[in-house]
Each structure stands twice: as structure tokens, then as C-alpha cells.
Structure 1
């Protein structure tokens, strides 16, 4: 028994057949001394002993006494041995099932996406991968986590929709254990996503410990693979120090992502341009439009970047990847493409991307110069409610974008000395922007009224602390509803329409419908934004550089600009999307789509956002509508 299950099985089997031999000999001797008339040959004797031993036949009424005694002994021995053998097989079978239920068995898949860790973010990641894997007949996502397999399976079953061509396999184990990593096929995985189990709102010591575990997991993944056969590794880290460590462990193989940094930058941009959040949701991830790298087999036929959009029937080029792997977003329209250049193109699917040697659409010959205008930059006033890891970045980003005389205020439930000190450092660094930090009881309507929230251009409600995403979102939605009620009462009393934009940081993406019904035109979905990026970068690491450029104040950013900057009223009725692309080029901008203001509240119509329509699509635009462009600034 100490040698394990196989030895026990062989021992029981040996005892059974040994007993069969012994009882056959005894019965044979008995037949010689006291023969039964029913037994005519030795083969019948063997068969009768065997079936008695396994309990399928008794001794029979016509047998003599000696035969009956030997038959009873045979049946008793068979009852003990055969039952033990059947019980052992049953126990081993149940043990194997238990191992499967506990997620201890090896994964036999190859070329799969491996997710290390299990957080609320995993649902959005899998949903994105399901969309991205639609063209694959049998895609697999494997999850390794310390959580029980049954618990993970139940969570996924209750929260995931249709998986289409993707299968999800869960395993229980440590994400830093080499044996556990080998068990989930780390050496044959296509890509690895390492999740961070600390939220942005957690204390610094919790985030530091979680970052350390993620870096340890990176080391384990590298140790389990050969250096020249590493999968693409995408990790989520909070600390700049740990991000630097992770990237330096295996330069080029590890891509790091900081939730707070990305979302803070998106928050600032979306608060200053209504509808931009819906654009970002359409850009990141696999659903909707995404970025691809494309180079035709027959070359670029000496076209420049300004001519390039009109050579694609589907998709808009936004930049280039050069032979040295560097990226250029929105190069000069006069840039002559080299044969080694790859185009970064925004399209709905890579199968629809095709370069034509001749233009497929010619824009109308409007006199764009007569109607081109610029927007006057004015001082802005923004309010941030709540303090978490995104708040310092958000304050700094606002200060970089805004002109002198603008105002950015912070409101928190508890203005601690640590928060005040960090806020003062940022305020002193941008002395031309007025910044005040206030302590306000966010549960008090009277104190919220004293802030005069209707005077702000935007109010951003950042997620606070809580036991889980449901509790955090409940607090955010409470503040959101209070502000909406204040706006309604102000409008009823003064007859003045409130133009303040509300942006709520929502942890659980399933709460978005609640936000829409509360009247928010622009909102942030933490899990969706970051999870979409994690999923897409895991399949194409180079996409991360594109996002970093778009989310940064340096270079070009996304803006939603009024149509009046590009066309006169007499031209609006006969426009195609190709005309919009050409008009944006005349302002040294790159047009990615249009925003229809009449559909801004319609979720089924993507909140009026139409990205990358066909170049020949006719557009019935009004002066209330806008173009979505990639530009140097908002003017």
C-alpha cells in the first residue's frame, strides 16, 4: 500500500487469480474423489470456479456436499477479493474526478492565452479574447489561480456569455510555482497575462505587495521558458519602480500597464471633449475597430501619407511602423512611404484591409481654405471628487492641458495631511492654474450645494475604497445621483440649462446601464478600458506604444471638433466621409470618424459615434455634429 495505487491494484489482482488457481486445484481434486455428473470437461470446471469467485453463480442444487462446501468457500473468498478490487477501482475513479474538480490535472492545450491570477477584470478580458478569436476554429484561454476550480468555474458560468469558438480551462495552483506553470502549458502558450490582485484604491502597502507578487510571477514565467522562446508577457503593475524592474528582466518580452496612469489620462481627455469615452471604448480591444499593422506585397507605389487614406476602401491609416520598429503617429501628409514601412491602420477587421494602387475614392474639390477656422481657448473649471491613485496624475494632466487662469479643484471626504501635502506639491508645480483642496461630507446635499457644481465644465467622480466593486460603485452612483438632482433643481429654479459634464469611474462594467439612466453622457469603465487593452496587447504587444502615444499630451491626441471648423453650411448636404478626411488634412489633422449629436444618448447607436465609415458613405451632417480627429491640440 505504501507504493501507491498501482501496487495495490496489482496485489489485489494477483490475489484474485492466485485464489482462482488454488480453488480450481481444490475443486479438481474434489471432482476426482466425488465427481458431479454435470461437469463433463475441465473447461466447464474452470468457468464454474471463476463465476463462483466473482459471485455470479452459486453451487447448484444438484451438486454433492463436497462441491457445495468448496463452492461456498470460493464464493466467500471471491466476495472479499473481487469486492475489494471493485471498491479500489471505484475509489481511484472518484479520486481522479476529485483531482479534475480541484484543477490539479495538466493542460494538454497548445498556442493558448494563459491568464495568471483571477480578479474582476478576468470577465472583460475573456470577452475581448472571445471576440478576437472568432476567426480561429478552436481557441483556448487557460486560467491559473489560487482560487478553487469550482469557484472559478461557477463565477465564469454566471458572468460569461456565449464563448463562440473559445474554450476556457481553469486550474488551481500558485502562479509563481514552476511545476504549476508547466502544468498549464507555459512553454507552449502564445501569450501570458499576469493580473494584479490589488485595486487602485487599495493602500500603498497592499499595492506594493501585489506588485512584488506580479514581478515574481514574471520571473517564474521566464524561468519556465527558454530565453529564445518566450511568449509575449503583459503585466499589470501599480508602481513605476516595479514596472521598470519587470521590463528590464526581459527587454522586449514584457509589456507593463498601469491602470491609474492610463485611466487618469483618459479621464482628463474625456472630461474636456464630450463623447470621447465612447470613442476610446470603440478603439481599444477587439470589438468595434482596432489597430493593425499592414504592408502590401507589391509595395506602396510611391504614395505619400496624405494620399494613402484614399487607397483603402476600408480603414484609416493613422501612422507608420518603420524598419527599426519605431512608430510615428500622424506623420506629415507629405511623407513618402518607404517599401519597408508598415502602416498602422484603424479598421474593423484585418480581412477587410486592402491597398489599391489607384485611389478608390476621390473627395470633392471644396475650397477648404475659405471655411477653416480655429477655436479660441478659454479658461476652464474642473472638479475632481475623491482621492485614489489616479487623482495626482489627473491633477497634473489637467494642469498640462489647461491655459492660465483655469481652475481645478479637489473635493475629498477626509483631507488628511498626506493628501494635502501631495496636493500642495502638484499645485505649486503649476502656479498658473488655480487649485484648491476641500474637505466635504459627500453624504450631505447642503455641502455639495455649497460647491456650486453647475459652474464647472466637468465633474469627475473617482472610485473610493470598499470591500468589493459593488460597494465602491454604489458610493459613486450615490454621489452621481445627488449631483443630477442638484442640476435638475438648479435648472427648475433659474431656467438655465446645466452644461456640466459628469464623468463617473465605474469599477464593474455591468453597472454602465445604471450610469446611462442616471444621465451621464460620458463615463469611464475601469475594467473595460484596462481589460480591453490587456487583451489586445497580449495578442499584439506593439499596440501598447500606440495607446501610450494617444493617451499622452505629447504629440497628437484625439479630439471631437465641431463641423463648422471644416465646412460651410452649403457643403453639409453633399458630404462623404472622404470629404471629411480631406478637410481634416487641410488643417493638418487626421479624421477617424464622425459624431452625430442627435444620437448622443443612444447606446445601441454607439452614442452617435461612427468610426471609420466607408470613404464613399454619404453623411447628412448638421452644425450640431462633429468630426473625430487626431490633432496636435483642440484649436
Structure 2
């Protein structure tokens, strides 16, 4: 149950939940509802009752946009996990893994990526490596099909190929947000949660909401210096004056004040200017664009190394996933929470030696030295809009790989540590090289 984007959407959602309750439907089926204003979450949950999962649509959208902005390629990962066409999250009985520890079991399955455990009805992503797997527990895995049975692997771990080292602390970032909509304030708030002190976010939009909302936000931010300008970002001269080359990340937002077709026309005009400027000057900032209609995404994604987010599609897929299996609600809530477990795309050289053949089981073992769970990899040089965008989720453990500069490993890691922060735990590092 996903309402429209107008101001009365949440009220209609609550009314619908009450009507379903009055009709006796609420007790018979599992409901999933979306609200757009977090102030209406409590009312929707009261109206829906125990059998209803309520999703804060704008908050989830903001977190996906920010995470994707900071990690190029994440939109492809999320689309794959949420759609019913690629790899998905499933729950499986432990089988022969009962009695083993979570950390040891990570390299034990050939065709599934173990990412968590469900114990006593509660699913936890990336628990401590020492956590025992009980016979009554369920494995949380990424697999390519609902009927896929976990198979043991014979792939061994080449510990000599593991190159786990310390990581530098996170550097301050500069982010440029072009355009504005009702998610804008939530997006800036999420950037403040994700980025280290000294980071800067600049908002440029021809939108009267920016002045009041940005002024209000500035007083509540702890890590960011926030500035804004009210300019038309579809104009080339506006963009030329912004110094795009000085930014690490550029995010283009769809205008929600106009029809979706009109919004995408304006967004694509801005995008084409930014792409042209980036190509002429050799700038390497990440570029994430919010598209209102999925059909418009296909117009511009073919050869460019950019991320595109169709927010309504992502949210709809998420709600369908939860409706199919309510146990997924807590997992996705954890994934999209800045303080929970999150998906990161990190350089392959953080884990294994480059230009040397390794199997994927070795990559998984190397990631565990950081208390992370490897779920796939990204090959450099592939356009994110191309099929797969160079991203491979859940490869077989026996897959032979040779990583090159620019390649990356996709991992599940503690969101309390920002990207690139800190060295791996000393105990874990010693254990991997024992």
C-alpha cells in the first residue's frame, strides 16, 4: 500500500488501514504500508496493528540516495537484491552447518552467500563471528532462486593471497545537490550522519522551499557545512559558475512540484550539461541522478558510468519483498540505517593481492578480517547502466578471479564505521593469517 506524493497521501493510507480493520481483513493477511511523513508513522502503525509493517518512504529513499552517492554502483546492487529477477535474500535451514560458528560458515557454501542468522525469531545481519549456529536457527543467505538449496563447497582459502591492511580515516567530502524536493531535507540529514566532520554540502535549486528548509537544517547539523543558492540548474551558465570539478559527489534530484514527465525532462537537461562538462574536463566525481519514470532512465543510461535511482520503483520493490516475507522487514531496515549493517563497495586491494589469481572463497575470508561479509565484486570499466554494470553478486566460492586496479569488493559491514575508517580488528587479522 503505497500512497501518492500529494500532501494527503498519509491520511488516505491511515484511513485505508482502518477500513481494512473494520472489514476484518487486517487479521487475515500481512499488510505493508508506506507513509511519507515520519510524524505519521505512529498513527499508521496503530491503524494497521501487529500484522502491518509500515515503511517511511522518504527516509528510505533518502538513505538509498546518499549511500549510492558515496558508493558508485550501489543502485545496481539494490535493484538486484530487491527485484525478483536476480539475487535475493532468503531464509534457509542450517543443515550441516548446525553446530559451527557464523564466521567459519561464511566460506562453507558454494552457491549461497551467508549474510546473517535468524535466532529465536529475530534475524540479525553479520552477527559476531563466534556466534554458534543452532539446529533450530535459520541461515539468512543471498541466493539466485527461492528453491536453491545451499551446497557445500570444496574451494579452499589461499591465505597467502590475503592482503588485509589498515585503512586511513575517512576524508572530508564535498557534495553538490542540484535540484530539490520533499526528500531534500532528509537527504541532507543523512549526509550529515554518513560524512566525517569538515564535509560540505551545497544545494542549488530554483525552488522557494530551499531557503527556509536549508536555514532550518543548518542549525541541526553536526558534521556538515551547508550552503545554498537559488538558481536554475537546467542552465549551462549556472552550472559553469558552480565549479563542479571541486566536488567529490554530485546528486541531481527530481522536481516533485511538476508532472513526472516534465520533472524528468528538466532532470535530463541538467544531467546532459553535467556529463558534457565532466567529459570535457576529465572530472571524476560520482554522479547520481533521481529519475521519476523508469522509462526515462533507459534514455540516458546506456554508455555512461553513472547511477540512476527511480525512487518510486525502489520503494515499491522493497514493499513487495516485505509483503512476500515479513521477516525481511528488519533486515532491510538494518541495511538502510546509518547505524546498522550496510552495503559498501571497497577497493579490492584492501582484501587480496592485485594481478594474482584467487578464488572467491579467499575474498570472503579476507573480508572477514575486517568483520565484514563479502557478497560480491565489481569489475572496473563497466558502465553502471550496462547489463550488471560490472557488478556480480553471490558468485560461487570456487570462482577464479584476478583483480585489477579499480576493481572492488562488495561487502556488508557495520554502518557505525564510515567508509574507509580504521584498521581491521587485530585479533581478526591474526586469525585470518594463522
Task: Name the one with the larger strand percent.
Answer: 2
Candidates 288, 295, 308, aligned match of 2:105: 308
Within 5 Å, give how 1:412-423 maps onto structure 2.
Answer: 412-416=205-209, 419-423=210-214
Cα deviation for residue 409 of structure 1 reads: 0.8
Whole-angstrom distance in 2 between the partners of 1:345 and 1:237 = 29
Who is 1:195 aligned against? Answer: 2
Consecutive unaligned residues in structure 1, runs of 5 or more: 1-193, 200-205, 492-496
Cα deviation for residue 517 of structure 1 reads: 4.3
Whole-angstrom distance in 2 between the partners of 1:440 and 1:226 = 50
Cα deviation for residue 390 of structure 1 reads: 1.1
Cα deviation for residue 594 of structure 1 reads: 0.7
Whole-angstrom distance in 2 between the partners of 1:520 and 1:507 = 19
Within 5 Å, give how 1:381-460 maps onto structure 2.
Answer: 381-416=174-209, 419-460=210-251
Query: Residues 549, 195 of structure 1: CA spacing in aligned structure 2 closer, same or farther, 3 A cutoff?
Result: same
Q: TM-score, normalised by structure 2?
A: 0.90
Cα deviation for residue 625 of structure 1 reads: 0.6
3-state SS, counterpart of residue 301 of structure 2? helix
Query: Residues 595, 226 of structure 1: CA spacing in aligned structure 2 closer, same or farther, 3 A cutoff?
Result: closer
Cα deviation for residue 313 of structure 1 reads: 2.2
Whole-angstrom distance in 2 between the partners of 1:630 and 1:348 = 18
Whole-angstrom distance in 2 between the partners of 1:262 and 1:583 = 30
Q: What's the RMSD between the two structures over aligned residues?
A: 2.0
Whole-angstrom distance in 1 between the partners of 2:193 and 2:138 = 32
3-state SS, counterpart of residue 11 of structure 2? helix
Cα deviation for residue 322 of structure 1 reads: 1.7
Contact 1:385 1:460 in 2 (8 A): yes
3-state SS, counterpart of residue 219 of structure 2? helix
Query: Residues 360, 222 of structure 1: CA spacing in aligned structure 2 closer, same or farther, 3 A cutoff?
Result: farther
Contact 1:412 1:438 in 2 (8 A): yes
- Residues 334-367 of structure 1, C-alpha deviations (whole Å, 9 max, x = no match): 11112332221111112212265xx643222326
Cα deviation for residue 226 of structure 1 reads: 6.0
Who is 2:315 aligned against? Answer: 530
Query: Residues 223, 597 of structure 1: CA spacing in aligned structure 2 closer, same or farther, 3 A cutoff?
Result: same
1:476 aligns with 2:267: yes
3-state SS, counterpart of residue 326 of structure 2? coil
Who is 2:73 aligned against? Answer: 275
* Higher RCO (Cα < 8 Å, 6 or more apart): 2
Whole-angstrom distance in 1 between the partners of 2:303 and 2:97 = 50
Task: Name the one with the larger helix percent.
Answer: 1
1:629 aligns with 2:408: no
Whole-angstrom distance in 1 between the partners of 2:303 and 2:90 = 36
Candidates 3, 8, 20, aligned match of 1:221: 20
1:348 aligns with 2:144: yes
- Residues 360-414 of structure 1, C-alpha deviations (whole Å, 9 max, x = no match): 432223263x642314421100011222121111101111111121111111103
Whole-angstrom distance in 1 between the partners of 2:168 and 2:112 = 28
1:326 aligns with 2:111: no
Candidates 282, 285, 288, aligned match of 1:500: 285
3-state SS, counterpart of residue 232 of structure 2? coil
Whole-angstrom distance in 1 between the partners of 2:104 and 2:279 = 49
Cα deviation for residue 299 of structure 1 reads: 6.3
Whole-angstrom distance in 2 between the partners of 1:555 and 1:257 = 17
3-state SS, counterpart of residue 344 of structure 1? strand
Who is 1:76 aligned against? Answer: none
3-state SS, counterpart of residue 350 of structure 1? coil
3-state SS, counterpart of residue 76 of structure 2? helix
Contact 1:373 1:566 in 2 (8 A): no
Who is 2:9 aligned against? Answer: 210
1:609 aligns with 2:406: no
- Residues 536-579 of structure 1, C-alpha deviations (whole Å, 9 max, x = no match): 1111122121111111110221111111111224xx43211111
Who is 2:431 aligned against? Answer: none
Whole-angstrom distance in 1 between the partners of 2:235 and 2:48 = 51
Within 5 Å, give how 1:6-21 maps onto structure 2.
Answer: none
Whole-angstrom distance in 1 between the partners of 2:113 and 2:142 = 5
3-state SS, counterpart of residue 623 of structure 1? coil
Query: Residues 253, 279 of structure 1: CA spacing in aligned structure 2 closer, same or farther, 3 A cutoff?
Result: same
Whole-angstrom distance in 1 between the partners of 2:390 and 2:256 = 33
3-state SS, counterpart of residue 593 of structure 1? strand
Whole-angstrom distance in 1 between the partners of 2:220 and 2:258 = 35
3-state SS, counterpart of residue 115 of structure 2? strand
Consecutive unaligned residues in structure 2, runs of 5 or more: 421-434
Larger radius of gyration: 1
Whole-angstrom distance in 1 between the partners of 2:377 and 2:45 = 38
Whole-angstrom distance in 2 between the partners of 1:615 and 1:518 = 30
Whole-angstrom distance in 1 between the partners of 2:396 and 2:234 = 49
1:366 aligns with 2:160: yes
Contact 1:386 1:462 in 2 (8 A): yes
Contact 1:285 1:535 in 2 (8 A): no
Whole-angstrom distance in 1 between the partners of 2:50 and 2:287 = 39
Who is 1:553 aligned against? Answer: 338
Who is 2:428 aligned against? Answer: none
Contact 2:143 2:394 in 1 (8 A): yes
1:255 aligns with 2:46: no
- Residues 18-65 of structure 1, C-alpha deviations (whole Å, 9 max, x = no match): xxxxxxxxxxxxxxxxxxxxxxxxxxxxxxxxxxxxxxxxxxxxxxxx
Who is 2:114 aligned against? Answer: 317
Candidates 363, 369, 380, aligned match of 1:586: 369
Contact 2:62 2:183 in 1 (8 A): yes
- Residues 151-192 of structure 1, C-alpha deviations (whole Å, 9 max, x = no match): xxxxxxxxxxxxxxxxxxxxxxxxxxxxxxxxxxxxxxxxxx
Whole-angstrom distance in 2 between the partners of 1:428 and 1:233 = 38
Contact 1:440 1:448 in 2 (8 A): no
1:237 aligns with 2:237: no
3-state SS, counterpart of residue 406 of structure 2? coil
Q: TM-score, normalised by structure 1?
A: 0.63
Contact 1:380 1:402 in 2 (8 A): yes
